[in-house]
Amino acid sequence: MDGERILIVEPDSRLVELAVIKLSSSGWLVAVANDGEEALEKIVNNPPNVLIINPNLQKKDGYELCAELQENEALRNIPIIILADQNFDEARFDALNLRLCEILAKPFSPKTLLGRVNAIALRAKLFKKMNPLTELPGRQYLEEEVKQLIQSDQQFDLLFCDMKGFRTYNKVYGFAQGNEVIKQMVTILQEELNKIHNAEGQLYHFGGDDFCILIRPGYADDFSKRIIERVDSEIPQLYQESDRTRGGLVITNRRGLVEQSPIMTIAIALVSNCSRKISNWLEAETIGIEMLKYTKSMPGSQFAKDRRNS
């Protein structure tokens, strides 16, 4: 991160001192502001690559500052790390609808802060490589995120998602309608992800009907249950009434035989480093593919976990 700029907006001088030492020693050029007005002036004059901000500021609080940045086309995509304490206003934060933002709860170690800073800076760079249909980051982006988490000894859950029956739907209804399915899946996944603020989740699109969610441990089960409920309720509405009533599509297979392809369902596979060591992204993805294959072998929408310890 040599030569990249970071602005810390935090009135706690001791916290700032420790953060500056850690970030500077890792190659970041660090600037500091004590209140919202000073921060805005520095951001406008010399936009940072990353902004670290305590929302409880004098003169102009952090929520107001973030809102103003959102209204400025040149500044709205600055990645932001919110330093949250017991006074954190979740409702005001949600209303901002920030695209590149993470919440870091106090207290935290300088090492944790550095890991978050490096990760969100990388996310900002890789946003330029997002999927053109969904505008979501892809496999390369997630690979770097997982690498950062492993290097900083952080636990994580990965949810690999795949739509069963999508290829047949795409073939029968056409690519344009297939894209509508993808967009609906993004809506479902992102809306449910947004409901669990402390999960620090991020949605990734690998292409086609393949998605992955990076999420903090402890949220995967309930999240997956809600996704399955919504998929089973909403996806059938994207079929014509006759196909919906029939329970699927009537197709002719390669042998010339007529068969029925059921209405699309979802397979979700959980891979976690909480109970087993995962050394790199390739290992995580290999486990995910294996688990998805198993999950897709079962009828209907299913959620399965990798329960192995080694």
- The rounded average pLDDT for each run of 10 residues, N- to C-terminus, in the chain (310 residues) is 83 91 92 90 90 87 84 78 85 75 88 91 73 81 90 94 93 91 94 83 89 94 97 96 92 78 96 92 94 94 85
Eight-state DSSP code of residue 263: P
> Which one-letter amino acid corresponds to residue 307?
R
Q: Which two tokens stand for residue 135?
A: 């505008």
DSSP letters spanning 37-55: HHHHHHHHHS--SEEEE-S
289 C-beta neighbours (distance < 10 Å), count: 14
Q: How far is CA 177 from the centre of its chain?
A: 25
Q: Which domains are present in the chain?
A: 5-129 (3.40.50.2300), 139-305 (3.30.70.270)
pLDDT at 73: 63
CB 116 within 8 A of CB 26: no
**Short-list 246, 220, 223, 236, CA closest to 300:** 236
Q: How many CA atoms lie within 13 A of 193 on its CB side?
A: 17
Distance CA 2, CA 26 (A): 8
Torsion angle of the four alpha carbons 107, 108, 109, 112, in this order, in degrees rounded to the nearest 10: 180
Q: Is the pTM of this model over 0.85?
A: no
Question: Cβ of 132: how many Cβ atoms within 10 Å?
Answer: 6
Measured between alpha carbons, how far is 43 from 38 in angstroms, rounded to an integer? Answer: 9
Angle, helices 175-194/166-173, rounded to nearest 10 degrees: 140
